[in-house]
Structure 1
Amino acid sequence: MREIKFQAWDLDAEQMYNWESIKQLFHEHLAHPRVKVRVYTGLNDKNGNEYYDGDILRNDRGAILEVVFVEGGFYAEGYDPLCRRVVREPLSAFASWSEIIGDKYRKPDLLKEAEAGEGEL
Structure 2
Amino acid sequence: MQSFKVRVFDRYINKFIEHGQKDKTIKKCFNFMSRKEMELLQDQFLFVPYTGVNDKNGNEIYDGDVVWDGKNKYIVRRYLSGYILDKTKKVAYQPNNTIWLSDYYYCVEVIESSYTNPELLEV
Alignment TM class, shorter chain as reference: 0.7 to 0.9
Query: In the aligned structure 2, how far is the partner of 1:36 from the partner of 1:91?
Result: 22
3-state SS of 1:69 partner: strand
Deviates more, 1:27-36 or 1:37-46: 27-36
Q: Which residue of 2 aligns with 1:16?
A: 16
Q: Which residue of 2 aligns with 1:107?
A: 117
Q: Which residue of 1 aligns with 2:102?
A: 92
Higher relative CO (Cα under 8 Å, sequence separation at least 6) belongs to 2
- How far did 1:94 drift? 1.9
- How far did 1:43 drift? 0.5
Q: Deviations over 1:89-120 (max 9, x none)?
A: 11012211101111111110011x22xxxxxx
Query: In the aligned structure 2, how far is the partner of 1:101 from the partner of 1:69?
Result: 18
How many residues align? The count is 106
Residue 85 of structure 2 is aligned to residue 73 of structure 1: no
Q: 1:104 to 1:51 in 2, by over 3 A?
A: same
Q: Between Structure 1 and Structure 2, which shows a larger proportion of strand residues?
A: 1
The letter for the 1-side match of 2:111 is I
Mapped contact 1:77–1:86 kept (Cα < 8 A): no
The letter for the 2-side match of 1:67 is V
TM-score (norm 1): 0.74
3-state SS of 2:51 partner: strand
Aligned-residue CA RMSD (Å): 2.3
The letter for the 2-side match of 1:70 is Y
Q: Between Structure 1 and Structure 2, which shows a larger proportion of helix residues?
A: 2
Q: 1:13 to 1:29 in 2, by over 3 A?
A: farther
Query: In the aligned structure 1, how far is the partner of 2:7 from the partner of 2:62?
Result: 8
TM-score (norm 2): 0.73
Residue 67 of structure 2 is aligned to residue 57 of structure 1: yes
